[in-house]
Amino acid sequence: MKTYLAPVNEIDRKWYVVDAEDKVLGRLASEIASRLRGKHKPTFSSFIDNGDFIVVTNAEKIRLTGNKLNDKKYYRHTGYVGGIKEMSAKELLTKNPTSLITIAVKGMLPKNKLGRAQLKKLKVYAGKDHPHAAQQPAALDI
């Protein structure tokens, strides 16, 4: 029996909109990462990008369990000696709420060209409005 591989021109990519209000960050991110990879489709292959587009709204109303809002730290480096910067999840949520979801999903995708291409299909917005109404995204309940 042969394994079916969907040709690139036959991949059907749909648009979904997810409301992140009162959703737990990790649970939401894992489901989004699975949808971006296309693991929910019967034509899934680990080396082909056949996932869907995901639009996340209300990123500023995401929820973290326990004391993670104060204890969880995000690090970045400026490139200079001793240039490591630290920010708590609460500070990041107030400063840039879209990056909180993007960082969580990015960590769950492959660390190669394929993962970077899949991450480009994720659109995150802090409020409830998004500019992708022309694509007619379907509501996805997670």
Q: Is the pLDDT of residue 31 over 90?
A: yes
Tokens (6 digits) for 65: 């369990």
- Domains of the chain are 14-139 (3.90.1180.10)
Position 3 scores a pLDDT of 76
In this model, does residue 83 exceed pLDDT 80? yes
Cα 141 from chain centroid? 15
Residue 4 has pLDDT above 90, yes or no: no
pLDDT(7) > 90 = no
The CA radius of gyration of the chain, in Å to the nearest whole number, is 17
Q: Is the pLDDT of residue 6 over 90?
A: no
Predicted pLDDT of residue 8: 83
Instruction: Kindly report the average pLDDT of the chain as a whole number.
Output: 95
The pTM assigned to this predicted structure is 0.93
**Tokens matching residue 54:** 């995901």
pLDDT(141) > 90:
yes
